[in-house]
Chains A and B, each alone.
Chain A
Amino acid sequence: MWTATLSLIDGKGKRGSFSLNFDPTRTIAQIENWITAITVPLNNIIKGGVVAISISRAMAVPVLMQQVPTDDSDVEEKMKVIFKDINGFFGSFAIPTLDETLVNVGSSTIDQADANVILFNTAIETGINFSGSFTAPTTNRGDAVALITSEDEVFTSSRTGR
């Protein structure tokens, strides 16, 4: 199984990260393509900067992926994604430096009607098309994600990055 980890930094110099797993039959190029392809929706979900990506080895941050954090970005502010795999098991990951404008007013839920959220969720559930072959993350068990069941704003502790 491949594990891709995206490391982010916020405007206060604090760091956070999130990881996604990929089926072992995927090539590194396919996983890199998948990560590059989520650049636009991810840029509009986060406010921090992506400073490093690893897939069991270092991957250059895609040229267009947001690298410089906004001054008000905050790694303690995250979008927690909970999903169910094809066998009914639940998994989750949390993306630091969530752009709080994506949070529904009077709620902690993420706006599911936002274009970039729709694209990001499609990339998770359906995958990204590479010459007719779809690449999508798996759970820790190596199973495909069947359904994102919830996306919410959460606040967690952070560690100092510089």
Chain B
Amino acid sequence: MDSLLAKITGDNMPFGVWYESLTEAERRLVTKARRQGLLVINLNADGTNTVSKVVA
């Protein structure tokens, strides 16, 4: 989970760029991380999708 979050290198990082950087094992943890509130995937009406890390 830490490695997955470490690859979010800034606020509102493009989702596609981040997803492509993930390993298969990390990709399987994305939903769990989102549901645990560790990251936020933002889908926007204009079709852009971003990801941000939630800082405790």
Contacts and interface: CB of A to CB of B under 8 A. Distances in A.
Interface residues on B, range: 10 to 19
Contacts of A121: 31
B45 A118 contact: no
B15 A119 contact: yes
Interface residues of A, number: 22
Contact of A113 (B28, B40, B42): B28
A119 B45 contact: no
B3 interface: no
A39 B47 contact: yes
Given A119-B15, A119-B49, A37 B31 contact: no
Interface string B39-56: 011111111010000000
A86 interface: no
Contacts of A127: 43
